[in-house]
Amino acid sequence: MKKILVTGDKGYIGSALTEVLIDRGYYIEGLDTGYFEDCNFLKFKDKYKSLKFDIRNIESKHIEKYDVVIHLAGLSNDPLGELEKSITYEINRDASIRLADLCKKNNVKKFIYFSTQSIYGISQTDDELEEDNSIKNPITAYAISKWEAEQYITNLGDDKFHVNVLRPATVFGVSNRLRSDIVFNNFMSNAYATNEIEIKSDGSPIRPIIHVIDLCLAVLALLNQNNKNNNNQSCNVGKRGGNYTVKEIADAVKNHYSEAKIFYSGEHGKDSRTYKVSFNKIYNEFSNSYNPQWDLKKGAIELDNFFKKVSFKKDDLFGTKTNRLNKLKDLLNKNLIDTKLVWKKD
């Protein structure tokens, strides 16, 4: 049986992915620094072993027994990445490159790296952006660090070391460690807790989005295929028809919460980050194993049921449990981690 290491297993995506992998019969272990370990609403016990560890300190002994490494660990979005840019590069770029090098050195057979569609940044075309031929224009530390790591990692694969890079659309949906600081989840939680949907731009930027379980299906597709033709390849992950304007995403939320009021705060002005992404590659290469099931209507029902189940409140929306930047700031204010985001010893 393949032994799989999931880095970042205590995050929003990692929490969902580990459940999916275990349900499909995979043997997994986790590695996570634990910033967001307690960001859960429901009590649950992990069904696998996980090491609390900073990815920046990774050594051969931490990965030498695994057949597959799925690398999720990192500072996870643009606002978080801007907290301290030098640390973003340390974690998202330098530690990822070191991990990939160690995996190859220690005979790991497959390395799956989670990049981001934020690398497309500001698109100057209305065409859907393809993986290889489209211009990359990352404009934040988060996006730049991911793009630089991706460029390095996709030169490592060979006959014994299979490398795949996933570029997910912005994720939505329920996870054991829910986030409210990503667009659809944010609009849904705002509508539920405050009866308002705040749009901080003019609503025109395009955001591709994907349900967290559909993203996990893409990982399963990679685990079940070792096609030499897709070694060292990057792949956009999303659903056909999954490119929405921010206004369209807000309208989908209002369709579920009809009494919620949409308003434009103008906080971000006319947000220049806009891009429309093609998902033809993943559909073509994994036509027998990648079949995303979730749309916004189904996702709205799921999130609404979750909010009711956990008695979701306004404090949850703006607090540390669902907002990753606020959580890190809280750990800093409580002197639990230092300015380099390293845990302080007791």
pLDDT in tens, 123-152: 777 889 999 999 999 988 999 999 999 999
Sheet-wide strand order for 68-71: 49-52, 27-32, 3-7, 68-71, 110-114, 162-168, 233-237
Q: Decide if pLDDT at 45 tops 90.
A: no
Residues with Cβ within 8 Å of 215's Cβ and at least 6 positions away in sequence, in order, are: 13, 16, 17, 166, 168, 171, 237
What pLDDT does residue 269 have?
57
Whether 63 maps to a domain, the answer reads: yes
Per-residue confidence (pLDDT) for residue 43, from 0 to 100: 87
**Secondary structure of the chain as H, E, C letters:** CCEEEEECCCCHHHHHHHHHHHHCCCEEEEEECCCCCCCCCCCCCCCCEEEECCHHHCCHHHCCCCCEEEECCCCCCHHHHCCCHHHHHHHHHHHHHHHHHHHHHCCCCEEEEECCHHHHCECCCCCCECCCCCCCCCCCHHHHHHHHHHHHHCCCCCCCCEEEEEEECEEECCCCCCCCCCHHHHHHHHHHHHCEEEECCCCCCEEEEEEHHHHHHHHHHHHCCCCHHHCCEEEEECCCCCEEEHHHHHHHHHHHCCCCEEEECCCCCCCCCECCECCHHHHHHCCCCCCCCCCHHHHHHHHHHHHHHHCCCHHHHHCCCCCHHHHHHHHHHCCCECCCCCECCC
Q: What is the mean pLDDT of residues 62-69?
A: 96
Q: How far apart are the first and last CA of the chain?
A: 38
Bridge partners, residue 50, by sequence: 30
Here the tokens at position 254 are 């209002």
In a domain, 251, yes or no: no
Q: What is the pLDDT of residue 151?
A: 97
Residue 29 placed within a domain: yes
Domain of residue 136, CATH code: 3.40.50.720
Q: Does 325 reside within a domain?
A: no
| Residue 81 reports pLDDT greater than 90 | no
Q: What is the pLDDT of residues 90-108, one digit of tens each?
A: 999 999 999 999 999 999 9
- For residue 25, pLDDT over 60 is answered with yes
Whether residue 138 lies inside any domain: the answer is: yes
Percent of the chain with pLDDT over 70: 96
Tell whether 48 is covered by a domain: yes
Tell me the two tokens of residue 113.
Answer: 């790296």
Question: pLDDT exceeding 90 applies to what percent of the chain?
Answer: 82
Q: Which tens digit of pLDDT belongs to each residue from 138-194?
A: 988 999 999 999 999 999 999 999 999 999 999 999 999 999 999 999 999 999 999
For residue 80, the model assigns a pLDDT of 67
**Banded model confidence at residue 110, pLDDT cuts 50, 70, 90:** very high
- Is 282 within 8 Å of 237 (Cβ atoms)? yes
Task: Determine, yes or no, domain membership for 200.
Answer: no
> Tens of pLDDT along 227-261?
777 899 999 999 999 999 999 999 999 999 999 99
Tell me how far apart the alpha carbons of residues 140 and 81 are, in angstroms, rounded to a whole number.
8
In a domain, 319, yes or no: no
* pLDDT over threshold 60, residue 268: no
- Which range of residues forms the domain containing residue 153? 3-179+208-244+275-296
Look at the chain and report how many structural domains it folds into.
1
Q: At what angle do helices 246-256 and 183-194 cross, to 10 degrees?
A: 40
Bridge-based pairing of strands 206-211 and 243-245 is antiparallel
* Partners of 208 in beta bridges: 243
| pLDDT reported for residue 198 | 92
Residue 42 has pLDDT above 60, yes or no: yes
* Per-residue pLDDT tens over the stretch 179-235: 999 999 999 999 999 999 999 888 888 999 999 999 999 999 999 887 777 899 999
User: Is residue 345 very low, low, confident or very high in pLDDT (cuts 50, 70, 90)?
Assistant: confident
